[in-house]
A = this chain, B = another copy of it.
Amino acid sequence: MGPITGATMEVSSTFDNMTGLTHDRPVQTSSFCQQFSSVDGAGNYDVVNNVVIPTPGAPDPRAQNSLRQSWEMNYQEAAIYLQEGENNDKFFTHPRNAHALSAYLFAHNHLFYVMELLTAVLLMLLSLSEAPAVPFLRLDVYVHATLELLALVMVAFELCMKLRWLGFHTFIRHKRTMVKTCVLFIQFIEAIVVLVRQTSHLRVTRALRPIFLVDCRYCGAVRRNLRQIFQSLPPFIDILLLLLFFMVIFAILGFCLFSANSADPYFSTLENSIVSLFVLLTTANFPDVMMPAYSKNRWSCIFFIVYLSIELYFIMNLLLAVVFDTFNGVEKMKFKSLLLHKRSAIEHAFQLLVSRQRPDGVCLKQFDGLMRFYRPRMTPQDRFLTFKALNHSGATMLSLQDFYKFYEVIGLKWKARRSGEHWFDDLPRTAFLIFKGINLLVKSKAFQYAMYLVVAINGIWILVETNMLNGSSSLLTVGVSWTRVVPWSYIIFLTIYGIEVLLKITGLGPLTYFSSGWNLFDFSVTVFAFLGLIALAFDMEPFYFIVVLRPLQLLRLFKIKQRYRNVLDTMFELFPRMASLGLTLIIFYYSFAIVGMEFFADVVYPNCCNTSTVAQSYRQINVTIGNRTMLEEGYYYLNNFNNILSSFVTLFELTVVNNWYITMEGVTSQTTHWSRLYFMTFYIVTMVRDCVCWLCMCIK
């Protein structure tokens, strides 16, 4: 531990050397300390004393005290500026006085954030138990309405804190907060109405609940995604209109050409014609929509080929290209403005940290004070190292130029260099040699390739084994036996993997071993497999699925090739971005699910839609073909909006697009033609989202 102690000592000694300017007054006084300055009259007080510890005979202890408080206020405000710069919060929401500061501090800590998040999640989860509820989660009206009121009161409390921090004038100007307040107000009234009437009315406004989630501090990435989506909208809508325009033209043409054919239900009326071509835009009804016309006249396929070529392969590509351009421009602008915002935050903080005597630099004392507020958990040693890293010029103070690098340097982690190379270096000689041997073994190419070979054999084994199961007589028994009876080969392979994991852990040391994502993957897959075996031994039903995960072992094979390692690393890198996109998706789903449930709950059931063109998909009957009778089941009645979980599955199916029109037509035949608007809107939203999602991936 030698070097670390040395560093600490150096820190403290330098600290003493560099704190000479402590008693100088700051150039700019924090807006928070106006009350102090008025009380103490310290506004026109000049300190000339330069010693470190206030000696007896210092001019005035009260002034000294007030000066220290004034500096502390400055540190805090500078830290707040830097936080605002980091989080891209606009400066007009900066707290203006001491009251605002306390509200600001209350509203800016993780406890508050977690409360905010939990309230929002609770509100969203309530949909599981409300009116068209998931069967096993159904709650009485007064229970869920009371829960909702409770959550809304929490939100109201959070908003009050925000009002106190921002002041009424800024509060009104902050758009997101105002929207949130309005939604809160409506929800409040509705919740009370529900509680009074003891029954849910048509509550489409529940679709607005995700706003509370989006506003959470932790959902910054989601807000960013939403902003990107909204910024890409104008060019998107323009091209969409072009797309729809061509669609209508072709619908008129199609109606003229094909409505004479009585066997063609797709073009029988102008409305059908438009709907058919909209669905064709998504390719979901493709060869079918062409078939009646095609069977009558082979050349009619030209109509469809031209339509698809123009719409799908030309305008859609154009749409992507145009949105790509806009998006690229917006991203560049955003990057620039973000950088400028950060610089301006740094400048604000710098002004608060410089003293009257040396107005062009921040010394260590001030920097240390700042960091105590900005990163309370940072050790003094790390604070010193950060200061040193910023201090390029080598002078005792940080210039503004040095300080501009603040956000880059603050991300660095400081680690004491370890003296030994292996974890077993300090062990006795015999043990050292053994571990050294293991270390060399697991690091050798031969060991690696031997393991790849084992995995490959395992893969082939699994394929062959599964294929042989095909031959068994009763599929039902096979399905059961596969998860219950463990083949001996599986135990052998698992033992080999277990030994590999143990060897690697002992050879590399646990710290080095677990610092690699691949090793973590190996480890968890192997441990899960062992857990599965144990679960099997004790006959614990719900853990069977772990045994089923055994083919995941094969994923190790992808370590062989460099490109796959890169690709999978990229996958891990992209994961946070994908997660935030997924969350954005869920928010969209949620809103649409609520609307869907309010309007379409319980409208589809087996044999419900015999009058529609998609009757077959909802049919559940005995059909006689020739002299055979069989049960034909079109399972589409399962794609319904009966509760929020079913709605999510249905919306996922609509996202995948294929056959989405069957769900649409089924619901439409049971409700009104206007229902189609819901499904078409959802498709267009999906399109926007996909488009933006793709661009996010590509541009980074």
Interface segment among A92-100, A141-149, A372-380, A567-575: the answer is A567-575
Name the one of B245, B298, B462, B469 contacting A554, with C-beta atoms under 8 angstroms.
B245
Find chain B residues with CB under 8 A from A548 CB.
253, 256-257
**A317 and B652 contact, CB distance less than 8 A:** no
Q: How far is the CB of A693 from chain B (nearest CB, A)?
A: 8
Number of copies: 2
Query: A466 to B570, alpha carbons, bound, how many Å?
Result: 54
Are A314 and B571 in contact (CB-based, < 8 A)?
yes
Please choose the segment from A156-164, A223-231, A498-506, A632-640 that sits at the chain B interface, where 4 or more of its residues have CB less than 8 A away.
A632-640
A312 to B305, CA, bound (A): 26
Complex interface: chain B residues within 8 A of A270 (CB): 463, 466-467, 469-470
> Are A286 and B653 closer than 8 Å at their CB atoms?
yes
Give chain A interface residues in 341-365, CB to chain B under 8 Å.
none
Q: Kindly report which residue of chain B lies nearest to residue A659, judged by CB atoms.
A: B287
A242-266 interface code vs B (CB 8 A; 1 in, 0 out)? 1001001100110111111011000
Given A283-B656, A479-B256, A653-B287, check contact A564 B238 (CB 8 Å).
yes
Assembly CA distance A515 to B204 (angstroms): 55
Q: Min CB distance, A551 to chain B, in Å?
A: 4
The reply to whether B242 and A564 contact each other, CB–CB distance below 8 Å, is yes
A48 on interface, CB distance cutoff 8 Å:
no
Give bound CA distance, A548 to B302, whole Å: 15
When A287-B653, A653-B287 are in contact, do A623 and B621 touch as well, CB less than 8 Å?
no
Once bound together, how far apart are the Cα atoms of A215 and B229, in whole Å? 45
The answer to whether B652 touches A320, judged by C-beta atoms less than 8 angstroms apart, is no
Q: Which residues of B contact A698 (CB under 8 A)?
A: 320-321, 324
Q: A259-B475, A653-B287, A658-B284 are in contact. Are A558 and B242 (CB under 8 A)?
A: yes
What 0/1 readout, one digit per residue, does chain A (294-318) give for beta carbons within 8 Å of chain B? 1100100100010010001110011
A177 touches B (CB below 8 Å): no
User: A257–B482 Cα gap in the complex (Å)?
Assistant: 9
**Chain B residues within an 8 Å CB radius of A284:** 658
Distance A453 CA – B695 CA, assembled complex (angstroms) = 38
Q: Which residue of B lies closest to A468 (CB)?
A: B270
**Which residues from B are CB-within-8-Å of A314?**
571, 578
Closest 8 CB pairs of A and B: A260-B479, A291-B635, A286-B658, A283-B658, A249-B551, A287-B653, A269-B470, A286-B656
Interface contacts beyond A256-B483, A286-B658: sample of 7 additional A-B pairs, CB < 8 Å, sorted by A: A238-B563, A253-B548, A262-B475, A271-B470, A283-B658, A284-B658, A295-B633
Q: List 10 A-B contacts (CB under 8 A).
A: A248-B463, A252-B463, A258-B479, A262-B476, A287-B663, A288-B659, A291-B638, A305-B652, A318-B567, A623-B624
What is the interface of chain A, defined by CB distance below 8 A to chain B? 235, 238-239, 242, 245, 248-249, 252-253, 255-260, 262-263, 268-271, 283-288, 291-292, 294-295, 298, 301, 305, 308, 312-314, 317-318, 320-322, 324, 462-463, 466-467, 469-470, 475-476, 478-480, 482-483, 548-549, 551-552, 554-555, 557-558, 561, 563-564, 567, 570-571, 574, 578, 621, 623-626, 633, 635-636, 638-639, 645, 649, 652-653, 656-659, 662-663, 693-694, 697-698
